[in-house]
Structure 1
């Protein structure tokens, strides 16, 4: 999630994305989520995975927003239509990070373990 937030800040700095109150709110929410995650790792508090997922999804929505229907094809999506990726990892954060990174190259499916991975095929 921190890399996605950093990319969002880079886009703002490079003026490829105009900052607004929703983006500011999302960035503040991401710092709160990262703080909570660090606290969990340190053993000080429990962490809501749904909150992290919401944060990642909100940040990702700003990084690859839907283009208007009349936009040139290159602007509509960064995905390579023929590429399909299956991510298999038992760690939630690792799965979400991999999905966020790889989804720009194609369709991503997630499996928590080998059994789910085999069922996905």
Structure 2
């Protein structure tokens, strides 16, 4: 099994876990869009030639999304009722976390490409 196939399987499993875990808490259709757009971007990025050329780009894009989803949605998955009562931003969590996760992932890819450009410009790679 090559890296891209393993990445797609991992993304599909992660989407399945998020779907099952948040299935009882997502009622609003726009919240569903905000939650799953980053995950679909993760899956779709494995089909783009820009990402397929370097495995590190896929990893850099995915890791912030996975980490922020796990930390951001963990309280929701474990005790939804308590978090909904105590959190003043309970509905915004589903919007803010995925958007920031995607921005971080894209930012890491951009920084990686800038770093590669600097290395090539100064011939540090040789």
Normalised to the residue count of structure 2, the TM-score between the two structures is: 0.36
Bigger radius of gyration: 2
